[in-house]
Amino acid sequence: MNLKKFNILIAPNSFKECADSVEITEYIKGSLFKLLPEEIKSNIDFLLKPISDGGDGFLQVCQRNFGAEFLHFEISNPFNSDKFFCPVGYYQETKTIYIESAEVLGMKLIPEEFRRPMSLSSKGMGDLLLQIYNFVIDGIMDVEKVIIGIGGTGINDLGIGMMEAFGLELYDSKDNMLEVIPRNFSKVEKIVVPEVTLPFKLEIILDVENPLLGIDGASLLFSEQKGATDEESKEMEKGFSHILDELEIDEDTQSKMNGAGGGLAAAMNMFFNAEEKFADQFIKEDLKVDAANYKVDLVITGEGKLDSQTFLNKGAFIVVNEFAKNNVPIIFLCGSSEGDLPKIDSLKVIEISEYFDTIEESIQKIDKGIDIASRKICKDIIQLFAKKNS
């Protein structure tokens, strides 16, 4: 009997502060390959497409899909004056540089004792862009486009710190120069804004579709998970509004600004006129993870935490929506979940943290957790395979 081929798409997002999407993809495939019966395994095609919505793991995904090579630049870290070497991807054939903001300003770079967004700066991103700028102007590098994945940042400074590298200065009412950090934003009475024209196109990939200001904005919704208190979140919200007023950005424009990356996306747009591309475009058009390209029998996706932020059109949920419309069975692996799960008939959620005593242990033993989860997945595969070949 000739058995029909069974196609499995493995397309997870990264598990933040745990493993990137390329690693998660290999863990899942390796576990399934070990556990599945030989007769079924020989009739399965694994389609491996790790994804990124612009956050953690963006560089690895760009390397895998576009052939980017890694280069390193020395830049400022977010919490003090020390420097570190940050990786970027460079694809010489298309003259394109790929930057992952999580590698420049990410939570993973900030020790817990420094996770206080009121005192953190995005200056490292400015250092990086300024060096690329100088390399292009001096003829050291040939760059026509810089693509930045915005997400996974530990800062919340409206991208104002980034502009300090280009010459931005803040002053109080007594003409004292202020340190360019959110703690000082409400004191600002004068801003010296540099005029910068980049010698390359700038494109930003946005991991969430949320406003800059308001209850769903960068400060009030996201800054507490970066270490801010409730009071500090409110203070940063006021500081953002004050800076935007000082920059003479009208209310209508403010209401349309994107809050991704602690306001970094808004700054890229304000100061560099960056072209915005949302994660669903990047995943479906650039990475080509869509139902039209892949006729599959099962989709396995997921990310570290399934919660309300996941439903803001973040990476793994883009995959869910894309294949759920065709009623393809979908398994969503996550470290943990919070709140009401989406009502999608073809979706099954597996929480890896259920196999461990603590969340921390599930993070440290992610490969073991995926092994255990894969036993459940294998049962589903065997049933689906039998149904297809009945």
| pLDDT tens-digit map of 306-321 | 876 656 567 898 999 9
Please tell me whether residues 150 and 174 are part of one structural domain: yes
Does any domain span residue 295?
no
Please tell me whether residues 190 and 151 are part of one structural domain: yes
* Whole-number pLDDT of residue 310: 59
Residue 86: its H or E element: strand 83-91
Q: CA 76, CA 345: separation in Å to the nearest integer?
A: 47
The CATH number for 103's domain is: 3.90.1510.10
Please tell me whether residues 179 and 328 are part of one structural domain: no
Neighbour-count burial for 358-378, b at 16+ CB within 10 Å, e otherwise: eeeebbeebebbbbebbeebb
Please tell me whether residues 132 and 193 are part of one structural domain: yes
CB 325 within 8 A of CB 36: no
Does any domain span residue 334?
yes
Does any domain span residue 161?
yes
**Of the candidates 37, 60, 35, the residue with the CA atom closest to the CA atom of residue 50:** 60
Q: CA 315, CA 236: separation in Å to the nearest integer?
A: 27
Does any domain span residue 287?
no
* Whole-number pLDDT of residue 210: 85
Please tell me whether residues 42 and 118 are part of one structural domain: no
* Whole-number pLDDT of residue 151: 85
Residues pairing with 302 in the sheet: 333
* Whole-number pLDDT of residue 311: 60
User: For residue 225, what is the DSSP state?
Assistant: G
Please tell me whether residues 45 and 153 are part of one structural domain: no
- Domain span at 134: 58-280
Does any domain span residue 25?
yes
Does any domain span residue 285?
no
Domain count, the chain: 2
Please tell me whether residues 269 and 324 are part of one structural domain: no
Among 280, 300, 329, where does a domain finish?
Answer: 280
Among 241, 263, 280, where does a domain finish?
Answer: 280
* Whole-number pLDDT of residue 312: 55
* Residue 106: HSE in the Cβ half-sphere, 13 Å Cα cutoff: 23
Please tell me whether residues 138 and 174 are part of one structural domain: yes
What stretches in the chain show pLDDT beneath 50? none
Q: Would you mind telling me the total number of residues written for the chain in this entry?
A: 390
CB 146 within 8 A of CB 96: yes
**Cβ neighbours of 118 (radius 10 Å):** 21
* Whole-number pLDDT of residue 209: 77
Please tell me whether residues 23 and 101 are part of one structural domain: no
Does any domain span residue 1?
no
Please tell me whether residues 134 and 205 are part of one structural domain: yes
Please tell me whether residues 23 and 80 are part of one structural domain: no
Please tell me whether residues 260 and 316 are part of one structural domain: no
Calculate the CA 69 to chain-centre distance. Answer: 20
Does any domain span residue 19?
yes
Among 239, 259, 280, where does a domain finish?
Answer: 280
CB 60 within 8 A of CB 21: yes
Q: Extract the runs of DSSP E, i.e. beta strands, from the chain.
A: 6-10, 44-48, 69-76, 83-91, 96-100, 145-150, 169-171, 177-178, 190-192, 201-206, 275-278, 298-306, 330-337, 347-351
